Amino acid sequence: MSYQFITTAKLPTRHGEFDIHIFENDDGQEHVMLTVGLPVVNQTDVVNQADTALNQQGAAPAEPLIPLIRIHSECLTGDAFSSLKCDCGPQLNTAMQAIQETGCGAILYLRQEGRGIGLTNKIRAYALQDQGHDTLDANLMLGLPADARVYDMCGPMLAHVGVDSVRLITNNPDKVAYLTQHGIDVVERVPLLVGVNDMNAEYLATKRDRMGHLLDKDFNTALHLNK
């Protein structure tokens, strides 16, 4: 599957202004990247000027800033409707704010609703969850994979803005492994534990206990504080 850059524009948000970039694959599926501080225009000249100024002061050149990156799969119910069944909306907003504060980074917003099973099947899985099944078993009961997401679009998207080293905002080791296997240096994994509540506690516990997400002891503390 190949991915093609289509267009870009400015996107003001309540967190600050982003550049929004649209990519499309061979099937016409669209993916979105929001960036701040990427790419640096005429990067060589900027670095040379900085080196000159620092050398005149007898100091070493500054280390390049590693962008803060969030790979976020589309979640209509969480991102748009503020669902309490998941932590997706708070994760997206917290990542956007963190990237603005850092001044260098990107949100890779991938159009793979419901861990890749689509919106209709996601709501069917919700119905099974309402009957007491966890998120993983609900997918399996529908004859669907526990997680059908792919990340092959991330490489072309990051390459578009010249990024080959990242600080990755995630609790999911699969995302770290995928980027690493495809030549992206993950210099730091930045944990993201937000939006914990009584409605999504079992959902998060399933991520931790059955899907290998790196939610540590702070998960239980966050749940207690939100009661």
Q: Is 185 exposed, middle or buried (0-12, 13-18, 19+ CB in 10 A)?
A: exposed
Residue 113 is labelled as binding a ligand: yes
**For residue range 179-189, what is the model confidence (pLDDT) as tens digits?**
999 899 999 99
Tell me how far the alpha carbon of residue 189 is from its chain's centroid.
Answer: 12
- 195 marked ligand binding residue: no
pLDDT score for 120? 96
pLDDT single digits (tens) 137-160: 999 999 999 889 899 999 999 999
**Which stretch of 103-112, 169-178, 195-204, 211-220 has the lowest confidence by average pLDDT?**
211-220
Q: Which residue is catalytic, options 79, 87, 124, 149?
A: 149
pLDDT higher than 60, residue 174: yes
4 labeled part of a ligand binding site: no
Annotated binding residue 75? yes
- pLDDT of residue 13 exceeding 60: yes
Q: Does the pLDDT value for residue 56 go beyond 50?
A: no
Of 79, 87, 124, 147, catalytic: 147
List of domains in the chain: 3-112+149-210 (3.40.50.10990)
Average pLDDT, whole number, for the chain?
85
Higher model confidence: residue 53 or residue 164?
A: 164
d(CA 144, CA 121): 9
Q: Is 71 annotated as a binding residue?
A: yes
The two beta strands, 30-36 and 105-110, are antiparallel
Tens digit of each residue's pLDDT (9 = 90 or more) over 78-88: 999 999 999 99
Instruction: List CB contacts of 9: < 8 A, sequence separation 6 or more.
Output: 19, 20
- What pLDDT sits at residue 135? 87
Kindly state the percentage of the chain with pLDDT values over 70: 84
**Which DSSP string corresponds to 80-132?**
IT--SSSSHHHHHHHHHHHHHHHTSEEEEEE--HHHHT-HHHHHHHHHHHHTT
149 noted as active-site residue: yes
Active site residue 208: no
Q: Are 85 and 199 in contact (CB under 8 A)?
A: yes
Cα–Cα distance measured from residue 223 to residue 167, given in angstroms and rounded to the nearest whole number: 26
Is there a contact between 31 and 110 (Cβ–Cβ < 8 Å)? yes
